[in-house]
Structure 1
Amino acid sequence: MIKLTPILMAVLYGLVLYRFSVWRTQRELDANSTELADPILKVLMDRMAKALDIDRIRVHIYEIEPVNGLAAPDGRIFITRGFFNKYRAGQVSSEEMASVIAHELGHVALGHSRRRMIDFSGQNAMRTALAMILNRFIPFIGPWIAGLLMSLVAARLSRADEFEADAYASALLVKAGIGTGPQKTLFQKLEKLTGARGAAVPAWLLSHPKSTQRIAAIEANESKWAAR
């Protein structure tokens, strides 16, 4: 039992830290967001809502500049002000923005936020256990290696979530009569919109897949669906 104590403590720490992060995120979002009110986007969101057989899709604008979308742990969908400004400036079409909303709906529907609570806690426990073991054989750098290994695991899980949310979004966009074209064109311009330099980083180190991989996965799903 004594040997397991550090691992159990790590799991408990992970749960407490996650709960605190959820509380802090919800507080930040509540204080710095307003509901999206755009008539063109509303038409597209209503089409997606009809496809999902729900009354409406509610989206909020999060008042920060980085270009991003967010599915909060409580199930709310957010688009950043920076992303919305790109849309208003004509750099992103209404259909492309709808594809972002569909993607975030995928994260909510597939329970990614809830699952990450378990993943986060488990990764903390595994990091602690690995650090203890490796430190016996490789003093000082053992914990660093353990941290690196768990970061790679976390990135892989995150990439899997992104592919799943992309697939959900594709299916929803097709059902709503919007199609996957806007989804793919957005990915083609995403690095420029975000100012990312992801092309210089190996794909397996990224928490999001490369845009080319995401487009290829969407097209593979389209081929699979067409063959049915």
Structure 2
Amino acid sequence: MSALLFSVLLAVAYAMLMMKFSVWRTRKLLDERSNPLRDVPLQQLSDRMATALAVPKIEVRVFEVEAVNGLASPDGRIYLTRGFLEQRARGAVTDEELASVIAHELGHVAMGHMRRRMIDFTGQNAVFVMLSALLNRFLPIIGIWIANLIASALMARLSQRDEFEADAYASALLIKAGIGTGPQKSLFRKLEALTQNRGQGIPAWLLSHPRTDARIAAIEANEARWMG
């Protein structure tokens, strides 16, 4: 039992060390490969959301990669990828849809998801170590595989929870800023094509992001509750 406890503590310590390294590396990469967003229409929409939040300004930067994505850094800055802006230039997405991405990433920051993910990551490693040690006693060949599957499913579920919370925050902010949730929902319908249908064929409970129909349904349920 003491050996198992030591293994768990070692796994947690290692996970914390790797997470800190990952945060440092991510911040360094973002600093090196990003620039301030200089886009008048998007800045005007960001200013409307800043007014709704009663803050002077929302800092948005452009991450110079081709992927279509938005992200929030550990220090709270918001990024749109160059790939997303190129999709806007092609007419695939609108200014308001990109504003909904900014609102979503603001939700991650406001809800403390970056810190929560650090805790979740260490917990996932501890679960994996404990399950591996337990299952290997009875299933020596596939025990590690089953433990990894369970730990990954747990992490996916926690990540989906964060996405739903960030969606709800974004919906409330977009409504308050007078933009509405229409662009948020229309972008979700486009994302699978924009990201080359990533995640197709993978069970929903193993995806880090919820399914599109579930996200739209949650937004509409929130709207009905708020308006009611």
TM-score bin, normalised by smaller chain:
over 0.9
Q: Distance in 2 between matches of 1:71 and 1:196?
A: 23
TM-score by length of 1: 0.97
Unaligned runs of 5+ in 1: none
SS state at 2:197 partner: coil
Deviation at 1:4, TM superposition (A): 1.1
Give the conservation status (yes or no) of the 8 Å contact 1:14–1:124. yes
Deviation at 1:199, TM superposition (A): 4.0
Letter in 1 for 2:55: I
Name the residue aligned to 1:187: 188
Question: Once the two structures are aligned, what percentage of the paired residues are identical?
Answer: 61
Name the residue aligned to 1:65: 66
Name the residue aligned to 1:75: 76
SS state at 2:79 partner: strand
Q: Distance in 1 between matches of 2:38 and 2:3?
A: 56
Give the conservation status (yes or no) of the 8 Å contact 1:62–1:78. yes
Q: Distance in 2 between matches of 1:168 and 1:197?
A: 24
TM-score by length of 2: 0.97
1:118-197 counterparts in 2 under 5 A? 118-197=119-198
Name the residue aligned to 2:8: 7
Deviation at 1:76, TM superposition (A): 1.1
Name the residue aligned to 2:205: 204
Q: How many residues align?
A: 227
Name the residue aligned to 1:51: 52
Deviation at 1:135, TM superposition (A): 0.6
Give the conservation status (yes or no) of the 8 Å contact 1:198–1:210. no
Q: Distance in 2 between matches of 1:86 and 1:3?
A: 50
Letter in 1 for 2:168: A
SS state at 1:78 partner: strand
More divergent stretch after superposition (31-40 vs 83-92) = 83-92
More divergent stretch after superposition (104-113 vs 68-77) = 68-77
Distance 1:192-1:133 versus aligned 2 partners, 3 A rule: same
Letter in 2 for 1:64: V
Residue by residue, what CA displacement relative to the aligned partner does 1:109-140 show, whole Å, maximum 9, x if unpaired? 00001001111111111110110011111113
Name the residue aligned to 1:34: 35
Deviation at 1:141, TM superposition (A): 1.6
More divergent stretch after superposition (81-90 vs 195-204) = 195-204
Q: Distance in 2 between matches of 1:201 and 1:120?
A: 21
Distance 1:45-1:217 versus aligned 2 partners, 3 A rule: same
Give the conservation status (yes or no) of the 8 Å contact 2:42–2:95. yes
More divergent stretch after superposition (88-97 vs 12-21) = 88-97
SS state at 2:62 partner: strand
Q: Distance in 1 between matches of 2:131 and 2:41?
A: 52
Query: Where does structure 1 differ by over 6 angstroms across 4 or more consecutive aligned residues?
Result: none
SS state at 1:159 partner: helix
1:98-109 counterparts in 2 under 5 A? 98-109=99-110
SS state at 2:45 partner: helix
More divergent stretch after superposition (100-109 vs 192-201) = 192-201
